[in-house]
Structure 1
Amino acid sequence: MLSETSTATVRATLPAVGAALGDITDLFYRKLFAAHPELLRDLFNRGNQAAGLQKQALAGSIAAFATYLVEHPESRPDVMLNRIAHKHASLGVTREQYPIVHRHLFAAIAEVLGEAVTPEVAAAWDEVYWLMANALIAAEERLYAAQQVAAGDVWRTWRVLDRTEETADCTTFRLVPADGAPAPGFRPGQYVSVQVELADGARQIRQYSLSCAPGSEVRSLTVKRVHGPAAGGPDGEVSQHLHDRVHPGDTLRVSAPYGDLVLTDTSAPLLLASAGIGCTPMLSMLEHLAETGHPSPVTVVHGDRSPADHALRTEHRALARKLADAEVLFWYERDATPEDRAGRVDLSGLAPAPGTLAYLCGPLPFMRAVREQLLAKGLPAADIHYEVFGPDLWPAST
């Protein structure tokens, strides 16, 4: 917990620091990458940096963490920390990198805020940083231990068995460990990081959900091609590399599986809501539920531009139909078939069963809209779980 003295200082300075966080994080990243260009080349997502998304996510998480410490001095925002820890573990982040971040972050704070950063203010925010950093370090090391890997050593070489063009922009790659050793276990809904070497020598990393059931030795990744110019920068360079250059027989460096959007061992009613490529973790969940004979109602919701854009559409519906009690609701903005619904996802006519647990994955506006509808129907906030592809901007947008 934050000390009483630091709590008072952080409370008093939070408005000023919060207002300057955009400038602070921008300067922080410039300082960090000037001193350690290898981090931008081989660890951070260059597309997110170019578009400013990582800066927004960092600012939002710092502000959310500090605000929580001030308003709830006896606890921590463990849900947010757990999500960050899983992402860091999938990238191989280690405790040795936190002092590097601290040095450049606090240099940026001092430069942006100037004389306002008194020794007392610096000490208080230093305490905030290390409370957050040490919580993440501990969580990440637990995650490494659970996968029985050394801290940061998450990578293995996998071989591509085959690839299937699902839609014009989505391709499924099926992989097996190149060394023939057993594949690590995972939970339905988790993702892996994939690292590829690009033409300029950079080793860029992206996360992709596993779209298969945990019991299979063959792992399936469905990758959507992201078009760089539409994203405002080079984002999409990894997905385009995978689509254009990776074929059966090639190898990929793939991390151990991580991610906190996972099914719990429960017989509760479920609602699995996705949009776009957010359907991939839902397919893993559905296949697992079908294999284990889930007894309670499952409502499957998906929204997309059209049936032709819905990756794994046939499998999505077929897996749901294997369940004892499932309702499938697909919405399409155009070309909806008679068994589907036209327009965007609208849950106004849905009555979730008591005790329903909801899992959401897709673009942030979609998840916010679905979450608001579910809250209005009486679902407790604690029973609505979500996964974000890319930087988690939810804290920065609330």
Structure 2
Amino acid sequence: MLSAQSVPVVRATLPAVGASLTTITDHFYQRLFEERPELLLNLFNRTNQVNGSQREALAGAVAAFATLLVERPDERPDAILSRIANKHVSLGITADSYPLVGRHLLAAVAEVLGDAVTPEVAAAWDEVYWLMANALIATEARLYAAAGVADGDVWRKMVVTERHEQSPDAVSLVLSPADGGPARPFKPGQYVSVRVELPDGARQIRQYSLSTAPGRDTWRITVKRERSADGTVPDGEVSSWLHANAKEGYVLDVSLPAGDLILSEADTPLVLASAGIGITPMLSMLDHLGRTDATRPVTVLHADRSPRHHIHRAEQAQLVDRIPGADLHLWYENDAHHVTGPQIYSGRAVLDDLNLTGDTTAYLCGPLPFMRAVRGQLLAKGLHPSAIHYEVFGPDLWLSK
């Protein structure tokens, strides 16, 4: 909880800070990488730095956290913190990183806002930062402890034991521990980080959902080759590298599982809604439901550009068939007439014909416009906001839009 003396200061300066946050975070990253250039090479996603999405996500998270502190002081910002903490754990972030970040972030605030940052204002925003930082440190420590590892000790060697071309732009990789031991347990919906060394020596990290049920001797990830839509940023350097190099027998650095999009074990009805590569965590959930003989109603929604782009299409249909009472609804923007079925539609996902009860829990994964549109329709059908969960691949821009 923010101190009594800081609340009015933060409330009064929040509009100015919020309006300048993207500029502040731009200055922050410039300062950080000038002092520690290795962080850009070996920790931060270089593509997201080029396109600005990481700066935008950081600005959105800070603004949302500060707003909650002054407008709803009795609420815990668990959703904001859990998502960030899980991402940090998948990267091996430790508590000693926070003083460095705080120093450069608060210096960036002073650079951008100038004389408006009085000692009183600086102290109040320092308090905001450390409330957020200490909450993250505590959450991350609990996640490390629950995984049975020392803080930051997340990387293990995994061997590519199978490789399957799912489409021209997507490949699935089956991974086994290089030491011959069992694969770590995880929860349906979680992801892992993969770290690769690129030709320029940078060791870049990306996250990929685990796309089968837990309890197997292996893991599986599916990697979509990211391509620049307009040439303003490079094609995905890690996904392109994995497509070219991750053959059977190759050894990868892979993190322990993380992520807070976790399938509930309750018996309430489910909606699993995905678009594009967002299908991957839903496959893990479906596989788990089938293996545990779940009887809860499950409505599966998937949208894609066309049947040809719909990766794991046959597998998804088979998994749905294994679950009593589950049904599958598909939307294709193009070529929907190339496949047949009672619940295949042309265009974007429209949920008008779905009958859902108010106790339904929904999980969403896919592009942000898709998730926003589906969430709005689910709310209109009576789902409670707290029952709609989502996963974003890349920086979480939901709060910044």
Measured against the shorter chain, the TM-score band is over 0.9
**Residue in 1 aligned with 2:271?**
271
Instruction: Tell me, yes or no, if the aligned pair for 1:189 and 1:210 is still in contact at 8 Å.
Output: yes
**Residue in 2 aligned with 1:343?**
347
**Residue in 2 aligned with 1:291?**
291
* 1:184 Cα offset (Å): 1.1
**Partner SS state of residue 226, structure 1:** coil
Gaps of 5+ in 2: none
The 1-side partners of 2:238 and 2:103 are apart by: 30
**Residue in 2 aligned with 1:368?**
372
**Residue in 2 aligned with 1:125?**
125
The 1-side partners of 2:365 and 2:153 are apart by: 28
Task: Write the mapping of 1:317-332 to structure 2, written as runs, cut at 5 A.
Answer: 317-332=317-332
Q: What CA deviation, in whole Å up to 9, does each residue of 1:58-101 have, x standing for no partner?
A: 00000000000001112321111001100010000000000000
**Residue in 1 aligned with 2:357?**
353
The 1-side partners of 2:62 and 2:364 are apart by: 24
**Residue in 1 aligned with 2:208?**
208
Task: Write the mapping of 1:8-47 to structure 2, written as runs, cut at 5 A.
Answer: 8-47=8-47
Identity rate, percent = 61
Q: Does 1:59 align with 2:37?
A: no
* 1:137 Cα offset (Å): 0.4
1:147 maps to amino acid? A
Change in CA separation of 1:235 and 1:149 when aligned onto 2, cut-off 3 Å: farther
The 1-side partners of 2:355 and 2:305 are apart by: 25
The 1-side partners of 2:231 and 2:306 are apart by: 21
The 1-side partners of 2:380 and 2:231 are apart by: 33
* 1:231 Cα offset (Å): 6.6
Change in CA separation of 1:231 and 1:262 when aligned onto 2, cut-off 3 Å: farther
Instruction: Tell me, yes or no, if the aligned pair for 2:357 and 2:383 is still in contact at 8 Å.
Output: no
**Partner SS state of residue 359, structure 1:** strand
Instruction: Tell me, yes or no, if the aligned pair for 1:275 and 1:363 is still in contact at 8 Å.
Output: yes
2:340 maps to amino acid? P
* 1:333 Cα offset (Å): 0.7
**Partner SS state of residue 330, structure 2:** strand
The 1-side partners of 2:40 and 2:175 are apart by: 27
**Partner SS state of residue 5, structure 1:** coil
Instruction: Tell me, yes or no, if the aligned pair for 2:156 and 2:255 is still in contact at 8 Å.
Output: yes
| Segment of structure 1 superposing worse, 73-82 or 361-370 | 73-82
Instruction: Tell me, yes or no, if the aligned pair for 1:82 and 1:260 is still in contact at 8 Å.
Output: yes
**Residue in 2 aligned with 1:146?**
146
Which one of 362, 382, 389 corresponds to residue 385 of structure 1?
389
1:348 maps to amino acid? D
Q: What CA deviation, in whole Å up to 9, does each residue of 1:292-315 have, x standing for no partner?
A: 111121000000001110110000
Q: Normalising by the residue count of structure 2, what TM-score does the alignment of the two structures yield?
A: 0.98
1:55 maps to amino acid? R
1:267 maps to amino acid? D
* 1:230 Cα offset (Å): 4.0
Instruction: Tell me, yes or no, if the aligned pair for 1:46 and 1:234 is still in contact at 8 Å.
Output: no
Instruction: Tell me, yes or no, if the aligned pair for 1:46 and 1:235 is still in contact at 8 Å.
Output: no
Instruction: Tell me, yes or no, if the aligned pair for 1:278 and 1:362 is still in contact at 8 Å.
Output: yes
The 1-side partners of 2:64 and 2:12 are apart by: 15
**Partner SS state of residue 302, structure 2:** strand
Instruction: Tell me, yes or no, if the aligned pair for 2:358 and 2:382 is still in contact at 8 Å.
Output: no
**Partner SS state of residue 109, structure 2:** helix
**Partner SS state of residue 101, structure 1:** helix
Which one of 388, 395, 398 corresponds to residue 399 of structure 2?
395
Q: CA-atom RMSD, angstroms? A: 0.9
**Partner SS state of residue 5, structure 2:** helix
Q: What CA deviation, in whole Å up to 9, does each residue of 1:332-366 have, x standing for no partner?
A: 11111221211111111111134110000000000
Instruction: Tell me, yes or no, if the aligned pair for 1:147 and 1:184 is still in contact at 8 Å.
Output: no
The 2-side partners of 1:395 and 1:235 are apart by: 26
Change in CA separation of 1:225 and 1:216 when aligned onto 2, cut-off 3 Å: same
The 2-side partners of 1:373 and 1:228 are apart by: 30
